[in-house]
Chain A
Amino acid sequence: MAHAGLTTPPRPPETPRDGLEEAAALWWREETTQRTLNRDGRRWTLWTAWIVIAFTAPGVVLLLLSPLALPVALGCFAHAWVVPWLQARRGARSVVPIGAERSASPGAHSGADGVALGLLGDLVGHRERELLARTGLALQRGELGVWLVGERGALMVRPGGGRVDSWCVSVAAPESLPGADRVAHLLLALREDERGFAKVANLGFSGAAWRLRRSLPQRSRPALDAARSAAREGAGS
C-alpha cells in the first residue's frame, strides 16, 4: 500500500463510541470539536480569499498593461465574485425547509404531513414552533453553535453569529417520509449527540452569514436571523 501513497486506516476502537450510533460506525473519521471547526473555518476563509486574489490579480495586471484589455479584466473580476457566490449558494441550497419547492411534501397538505408536523411541533419549544411554522426550519441550541435543521441539511451558526457552517445530512432511506418527519429524524439525532451529528454530516460550506443569507429562500431568512441572534446571546452570556 505504501508504494501507492496510501496509508493503512486506523484500527476500529475497542470500546465503541457512546452517543449517535451512526457516528460510532464512522470510527475512522475525526471527531468534530470547536478546534476542528475553527480549523475548517480558517481553511474555507483562506480558500475563498485565494479564489478572489487568483482572479482579481490578473484582471488588475491586464488593466495596467492595456486599458483595451478591459473586457477580459471584467471577466476575471466576475469570476472572483461568482465563484464565492456559488459556494455560498451551494451551502444555502443544502438545506431544504419544510414546504419548500424541493421539499418531500411541498405544500404539506396530506394527513401524514399533518401527523408528522404535530409530532415535530411537540418536540420543539413554543418559540421554535412558531419559527418552524413561519420558516420551515427547526432551531436547536447546541454547544458548538445554534442549529437550523431542515428536511435535508442543517445550518450551524457559530457562537457570536458571524460565521455559518452548512452541513449535508439526511435520513439514510427517506422514501415516502413526510417532510416534517425528516426534520424530526435529524433533530432527534442532533439532540442525541451534537458532535456525533457533525461527524456524520459533511461540511459543505463555511463562511460569513451574510453570504449564505442572500441565497436562502426569502421565507427562511428570518430563521437565520433568529439563529444569529441566539448565537450572539449565547456568546455574550
Chain B
Amino acid sequence: MARLIRLDRTGHTTLAEWAHEDRTAREAAVSAFRRELDNGMLASVPRSDGTAEVVRELPRDADLVVLRRPIAGG
C-alpha cells in the first residue's frame, strides 16, 4: 500500500492509502494531493538512498509521499 501523509500538529496525518492497481483509491489520493498543494504544502518522496525528490504530481511508483510546509531562512 502506498501512503500520502501530511506533517502536522498530530505528528502526521494519513490523507490517503492506495494499492497501485486500485484506480478509485488512487484518484482519491490524487485529489487529496492536489488540494494540499493548493493550500501551500510541498510534496516530497523519500528515497531509500537517503535522498528525496520534489514532486508536483502524485507519482505512480512511490510507496510514501510526504507533504510538508515550506522552509525559510531565519
Q: A residues touching B (Cβ–Cβ < 8 Å)?
A: 19-22, 94, 111-119, 123, 125, 140-141, 152-153, 168-178, 180-181, 184-186, 188-189, 191-193, 197, 200-202
16 CB-based A-B contacts, threshold 8 Å: A21-B42, A21-B54, A22-B70, A113-B11, A169-B74, A170-B71, A170-B74, A171-B70, A172-B72, A173-B69, A178-B9, A181-B12, A191-B44, A192-B44, A192-B51, A192-B52
Q: A19-B54, A20-B54, A188-B46 are in contact. Are A200 and B71 (CB under 8 A)?
A: yes
Contact call B50/A125, Cβ cutoff below 8 A:
yes
Residues on B with beta carbons closer than 8 Å to the beta carbon of A153 = 74
* Alpha-carbon distance between A137 and B12 when the two chains are bound, in angstroms: 20
Tell me the smallest distance from the CB of B70 to a CB of chain A, in Å.
Answer: 5
**In the complex, what residue of chain B is closest to A191 when comparing beta carbons?**
B52
Most interface-central of A169, A192, A201 (chain B CB within 10 A):
A192
Contact call B53/A192, Cβ cutoff below 8 A:
yes
Q: B residues touching A (Cβ–Cβ < 8 Å)?
A: 5, 7-12, 42, 44, 46, 50-54, 66, 68-74
Contact call B73/A116, Cβ cutoff below 8 A:
no
Contact call B11/A188, Cβ cutoff below 8 A:
no
Most interface-central of B68, B72, B74 (chain A CB within 10 A):
B72
Contact call A111/B11, Cβ cutoff below 8 A:
yes
Known: A22-B70, A191-B50. 6 other contacts (CB 8 A): A94-B74, A175-B9, A181-B8, A181-B12, A188-B46, A200-B71
Contact call B11/A168, Cβ cutoff below 8 A:
no
Residues on B with beta carbons closer than 8 Å to the beta carbon of A125 = 50
Residues on A with beta carbons closer than 8 Å to the beta carbon of B70 = 21-22, 171-173
* Alpha-carbon distance between A189 and B66 when the two chains are bound, in angstroms: 11
Residues on A with beta carbons closer than 8 Å to the beta carbon of B71 = 22, 169-172, 185-186, 189, 197, 200
* Alpha-carbon distance between A125 and B46 when the two chains are bound, in angstroms: 12
* Alpha-carbon distance between A183 and B32 when the two chains are bound, in angstroms: 24
Contact call B73/A169, Cβ cutoff below 8 A:
yes
Most interface-central of A111, A123, A153, A191 (chain B CB within 10 A):
A191
Q: Which of A94, A119, A176 contacts B9 (CB 8 A)?
A: A176
* Alpha-carbon distance between A140 and B49 when the two chains are bound, in angstroms: 11
Residues on A with beta carbons closer than 8 Å to the beta carbon of B44 = 188-189, 191-192
Across the A-B interface, the 3 shortest Cβ-Cβ residue pairs: A115-B11, A168-B74, A191-B52
Contact call A123/B46, Cβ cutoff below 8 A:
yes
**In the complex, what residue of chain A is closest to B56 when comparing beta carbons?**
A21
Contact call A184/B69, Cβ cutoff below 8 A:
no
Contact call A119/B11, Cβ cutoff below 8 A:
yes
Residues on A with beta carbons closer than 8 Å to the beta carbon of B42 = 21-22
Q: Which of A112, A119, A170, A181 contacts B72 (CB 8 A)?
A: A170
Most interface-central of B42, B51, B74 (chain A CB within 10 A):
B74
Residues on B with beta carbons closer than 8 Å to the beta carbon of A192 = 44, 51-54
